[in-house]
Structure formats: structure tokens, C-alpha cells
Structure 1
Amino acid sequence: MLAMLNGMLREKLLLPMFGDVAALVSSGVLLSVGILLVAWLAVPWFGALPAREWRLIGLFWLGLTLAFEFGFGRLVQHKAWADLFSAYTFQGGNLWPLVLAVTLLAPWVAARLRGRVQASGAAGMERRT
């Protein structure tokens, strides 16, 4: 949802105002900040977890993002694989690879900033009781 809103903002406002390259860069930065904000807001919902689990949450978020991107691109938009993979370069101001890295790391980073990463020994003790 966040990425779709970002895409609409890019197409309707940023592209006409700034042109292709600046709009793509701005859009990538805005989407990355939005993902970090969502992670920041979600951390209390998850509670305190070991670093490994925060990283798994990020991996899950990344997996969902890629599944949507490739599934929608192939099944709905009928794009060729080459067209889909072209989005995974930094050409023309495209920051999509950076956005994916932020998606992967955002839960762990937000949890660290909010002090919600448990020491690895604490998680093992908690689960045994």
C-alpha cells in the first residue's frame, strides 16, 4: 500500500515537478523513509525479540515485496522477465535496490533504535520456562 501511494505521488506530482531522475531519487528516498517509519511504529506491536527474529521479520517483508512485484508484474501486467529485472538496477536514478535493502533491515534497525532487541541468551531462557 505504501509503495503504491508512493508510486502515485511520483507519477502525479514528482515527475511533472522534477523530471525523471530527480523524481525517481526522491521517490526512492521517500519510500525508504516510509518503510522505516512503518517499522518504527510496528516494533511495539512485536515486543522485544532477539536480533535473529528481527532479521527474519525483515526477510519476510522482503519476500512479500518481491512476491508482489514479480507476481503482479508477470500475472497482471504481463511484463517480460527482462523488464521486471531492469527495475533492479540503479540506472536513471532508480533506487529500488536500496529500497529493498531498507525493507530487509528496517525491522532490526527500528528495534535497535527503540531498545527492543533482546540479548540472544535472554530469548533462550524465556522460551524454556
Structure 2
Amino acid sequence: MSFAVAIKAVVIWLAILVVAVLNGLLRETVLVPHFAAATSLVLSGLLLSCLIFVAAYLLLPWLGTRVPAQLLLIGVGWLVLTLIFEFSFGLSQGKPLSEILQAYAFKGGNIWPLVLLCTAVSPWLAAKLRGWF
């Protein structure tokens, strides 16, 4: 994978990060007051998964690669960056590791592991749906 493709992949991930933060704000300010906490988490997780896929689908041409293995690597890279961000942010806020890890269990409507799966496969799946391979 070229350096330019890697940089573009990171730029896309940064955009996804902004979207994820905005999604969290939407969840807390709009969904939670109107729905149960579990319902809010499911709706927010589904929305974020869709937004990640749409971002991948729309930005693939700019990314500049159609190689399936590279697209899978980019998705895994997004996953790793997300995990690094999540754990670093949580630990920097003084949260214990046990509390951070609660987000990775399917409890109380939490579907975060599915969002992570979507993050990892979105570049490859978007290219597949575009008919690139």
C-alpha cells in the first residue's frame, strides 16, 4: 500500500471519528430523552454503522485503491485506530479498564462490537458493492 493511500485512509478515519462523536452527542441529547437507554444504544449503534459504511462507499474513489487485500487492511487499520482512541480516551479520563471493557459486551442494548465489525469490513464491502472486484 502506498504512503498516499495510507494517509488518505487515516484522513477518512479522522472524519469517521468526528461523525462518531457527533453520533454520541445525538444519542445523549435526542435519543436518550425520548427512548429507553437500551433502545438509544441500539439506534445509535445502527446509525453509526450506516454512517461508517456510507463514508467508506462515498470516499473509496478518493482513497485510490481497488485491491481487496488493501481494503481489508484499511478496515483493520480503522479498527485498530478506533480501539487505540477508545482505550486512550477512557484511560485519560481516569476510567478503570473494567469500565472501558463494558462497552465491548452485548449488555443493555450495547452493540459496539458490531459497530467495530462494520468499521473493519466497510472499505472492502463498499468496494465489493461498487463492483470493483
TM-score using structure 1 length = 0.87
Q: Which runs of 5+ in 2 are unaligned?
A: 1-17
How many pairs align?
Answer: 116
Per the alignment, residue 109 of structure 2 pairs with 93
Q: Which runs of 5+ in 1 are unaligned?
A: 118-129
1:49 corresponding residue in structure 2: 66
Q: In structure 1, how many angstroms separate the alpha carbons of the residues matched to 2:72 and 2:28? A: 32
Describe how 1:1-129 pairs up with structure 2 within 5 A. Answer: 1-75=18-92, 77-117=93-133
SS of the residue corresponding to residue 79 of structure 1 reads coil
Identity between Structure 1 and Structure 2 (%)? 49
Deviations 1:81-109 (A, max 9, x none): 10011110110000100000000000000
| Whole-Å separation in 2 of the counterparts to 1:33 and 1:19 | 21
Paired residues of 1:47 and 1:116 also in contact (CA < 8 A): no
TM-score (norm 2): 0.84
RMSD across aligned C-alpha pairs, in angstroms? 0.9
* Bigger Rg, structure 1 or 2: 1
Q: Within 2, Cα distance between the matches of 1:19 and 1:8?
A: 16
